[in-house]
Amino acid sequence: MSDKMETRTFTVDDLEVREASDGMQFEGYAAVFNSPSEPLPFTETIAPGAFSRTLRSRNNVYLLVNHDPARPLASTRSKTMTLEEDSRGLLVKATLPDTSDGRDLSVLLGANGPSIIESMSFGFTVPRGGDKWSDDGSQRTLTQVRLHETSIVTFPAYTATSASVRSVDALADKTGEDAEALNAALDALERGATLTVDQAGLLSTVVAKLAPEPEPVVAEEPALSAGQIELLKKQLDLHYKL
C-alpha cells in the first residue's frame, strides 16, 4: 500500500464547456482506461473498474486547477461535481464557479472559441492489493485506486509529477542524499540554470556514488634486462649442477 499521493495526467481531445441556466458546465475525462502511460520508467495502465470502490465510498472529491487546493472549482459534496465510470474512463461533470479561475477556464476551454486546454489529471493513492506488476517490473496495472482529487491542468506535467519525482526519490534512497535538494539541483541542470556550489557538489557526489568500481589494475612484470637474464641462466645452471 502506498500512502504517498500520486498524480496522472491524460491529454484528451474532447474537454467541453458550455453555458447552461445554472452556469458554465464542464465535462471531461480525468482518466482513461487501458491507455498505456509514458514510461515512469515502467509502463502503467488503469483497469476498468479501478475507481468503482472509491466512488461508492462517497468521499468528498474536489475539482482543482493544477492540483492546487487553494484553487477549487467544484466538489462532489457540494453537488457541483459528479464523477462516474463509463467504458472509457473516469468522467467528470462540473459547474464552474463565477470566480476568476472559473471564468478564465471557461474561455481557455473554448466557450467562445478554440480550446487551449486539453488535459486533465487526478490525484490518488493505491490501497493494499490495488496494483499488479509484471514479473520484470516493467508494467504496472492499477486495479483499484483511492481518488483524492481531479484537476484541470493548464500545464500538463505527466513525467514531471510522476516519473521525475519517482526517479529522484529512488535516486535519493540509493545514494542517501536529500531528495528535495537533489530535485532542485536536477531541475536547475535541466533548465540550463547556473548551479550553486552546493548543487554542483551534490551532483558530483551522486555521480561518484553511482559510478562503477574501477577494474583492478594488474601490474605487468617488468621486462628483464640482458644482464638479469644472463644472471638467471647462471643460477639455473648452478642449480642443476648441485
Q: Please give the Cα distance from 24 to 152 (Å, whole number).
A: 15
d(CA 184, CA 198): 11
Residue boundaries of the structural domains of the chain: 2-157
Cell numbers of 148, please? Answer: 483524492
Nearest to 142 by CA among 14, 20, 42: 42
Q: Tell me how far apart the alpha carbons of residues 185 and 194 are, in angstroms, rounded to a whole number.
A: 10
Cβ contacts of residue 108 below 8 Å, gap of 6+? 115, 116, 117, 154
d(CA 231, CA 204): 52
Please choose, from the candidates 58, 44, 50, 51, the residue with its C-alpha nearest in 3D space to the C-alpha of residue 9. 44
Q: How many CB atoms lie within 10 A of CB 74?
A: 23
Measured CA to CA, the distance from residue 1 to residue 171 in angstroms comes to 21
Spatial neighbors of 129 by CB under 8 A, at least 6 apart, are 143, 144
Packing angle, helices 179-191 and 164-175, rounded to 10: 130
- Tens digits of per-residue pLDDT, 109-156? 887 767 788 889 999 999 989 999 999 888 999 999 999 999 998 765
Per-residue pLDDT of the chain (242 residues; tens, 9 = 90+): 456 788 888 887 778 888 887 788 999 999 999 988 877 778 899 999 999 999 998 889 999 999 999 999 999 999 999 999 999 999 999 999 999 999 999 888 887 767 788 889 999 999 989 999 999 888 999 999 999 999 998 765 443 333 345 566 677 888 888 877 887 777 677 666 788 888 888 888 988 888 887 777 666 666 667 776 677 666 666 555 54
Q: How far is CA 152 from CA 129, 190, 214, 239, in A?
A: 29, 26, 49, 92
* Degrees, nearest 5: CA angle 31-35-37: 90
pTM score: 0.62
In angstroms, what CA-CA distances link 207 with 7, 202, 216? Answer: 29, 9, 20
